[in-house]
Amino acid sequence: MSDFPETFAPRARQWPLRRVLRSAPLSLVFYLAIVGGIVWLALRGSASMGYNWQWYRIPQYFYEITDQGFQWGEIPIGLVATIGLSTLAFALALVLGLLVALLRLSDLVVGNAVAVGFLELVRNTPLLVLLYLFYYVLGPIFSLDRYWASVLCLAVFHAALISEIFRAGILAVPKGQWEAAKSIGMTTGQAYRWIIIPQSIRMMLPPLTGEMVHMIKSSAIVSVIAVAELTTIGRNIISDTYMSFEIWFTIAAVYMVVTLALSVLVSRLERSFTVKR
């Protein structure tokens, strides 16, 4: 009995300030103070270097209303290209990732070795080097243009990460599910298709969203081989206008809006998955 008060003592002695610090209004104040500080520093810095802010010139890169009517600007066009590129690469990465995961989970010694070799090779190469390999080495050999070199490079890079997500999701399904599937006569393929994969998808969805967000962000790297997409467009506008501050802030914000929207969408989707059960 004497142990009881002692066990609970820390709660009574809890630092009262902690509760104050955790309150929502105070968090907001802190947040605003930090953001305000960063903005102030940026403004002061730009002022001291005599930066000439020209935000009014930004909207024309989103849309223009000319004699022909409404026209999309360069940034939305770049964004569509980025999303197209990322989606295509992601679709390929899903297929390749599943293949690698299944190879790795199989009892085939060769398959396993191939999968592990692929994983280690891709995971231990910087993305930029991988891109150069695809564009300057594999490109001429397989006559890939810069667009397909980029798509394949991104697909291969993310397939390695996605295959680990698949593997973890598949391994998280209890062994009894395999045994039940086999005991009703299913082949390994049927068990995967009807029993294992449907159950692991729910577990894979959050990390896969993370990978899609990651993909959209890492697609910016293809600007180094001048594939037309959001970051390349940003660089082009800057080389015309020298508005590097405004344009990079804008481009970053556009990426953020897209990736945040994606996260919200998937968390909705996830909820509808759980309600079904």
Partner 1 sequence: MLDRTPIIDIRGVNKFYDGFQALTDVSLSVFSGQRVVICGPSGSGKSTLIRCINRLEEHSSGQLIVDGTELNDETRNIRAIRQEVGMVFQQFNLFPHLTVLENLTIGPMRVRRASRRDAEATARKYLERVHIPEQADKYPSQLSGGQQQRVAIARSLCMETRVMLFDEPTSALDPEMIGEVLEVMVELADSGMTMIVVTHEMGFARRVADLMVFMEAGRIVETAPPEKFFTNPESERCRVFLEQILSH
Q: How far is the CB of 176 from partner 1 (least distance, A)?
A: 4
- Quick one: which of 180, 129, 182 has its CA closest to 156? 129
Q: Which range, of 36-44, 90-98, 171-179, 264-272, touches partner 1 by CB under 8 A? A: 171-179
Q: Fill in the amino acid letter for 1.
A: M
Q: How far is the CB of 192 from partner 1 (least distance, A)?
A: 12
Q: How far is the CB of 263 from partner 1 (least distance, A)?
A: 24
By beta-carbon proximity to partner 1, the closer residue of 16 and 185 is 185
By beta-carbon proximity to partner 1, the closer residue of 102 and 195 is 195
CB atoms within 10 A of CB 13: 8
Q: How far is the CB of 93 from partner 1 (least distance, A)?
A: 25
By beta-carbon proximity to partner 1, the closer residue of 188 and 236 is 188
Q: How far is the CB of 167 from partner 1 (least distance, A)?
A: 19
CB atoms within 10 A of CB 275: 7
By beta-carbon proximity to partner 1, the closer residue of 239 and 274 is 274
Burial of 197 (0-12, 13-18, 19+ CB in 10 A): middle
Q: Which of residues 173-202 bind partner 1 (CB under 8 A)?
A: 174, 176-177, 179-187, 190, 194-195, 198-199
- Between CA 154 and CA 127 the distance in angstroms is 8
DSSP assignment string, 193-260: IIIIHHHHHHHHHHHHHHHHHHHHHHGGGGGGGT-SSHHHHHHHHHHHH--HHHHHHHHHHHHHHHHH
- Between CA 39 and CA 42 the distance in angstroms is 5
By beta-carbon proximity to partner 1, the closer residue of 87 and 177 is 177
By beta-carbon proximity to partner 1, the closer residue of 64 and 270 is 270
- Between CA 148 and CA 145 the distance in angstroms is 6
By beta-carbon proximity to partner 1, the closer residue of 87 and 199 is 199
Q: Which of residues 202-241 bind partner 1 (CB under 8 A)?
A: none
- Between CA 81 and CA 63 the distance in angstroms is 16
Residue keyed to tokens 């610090």: 21
From residue 29 to residue 48, the character string flagging contacts with partner 1 as x (rule: CB under 8 A) and all else as - is --------------------
The token duo for 5 is 């008060």
The token duo for 19 is 């509760």
Q: Which range, of 84-92, 160-168, 170-178, 252-260, touches partner 1 by CB under 8 A? A: 170-178
How many residues bind partner 1 (CB under 8 A)? The answer is 18
- When asked if residue 172 is in the footprint of partner 1 (CB under 8 A), the reply is no
Binding site for partner 1 (CB under 8 A): 174, 176-177, 179-187, 190, 194-195, 198-199, 277
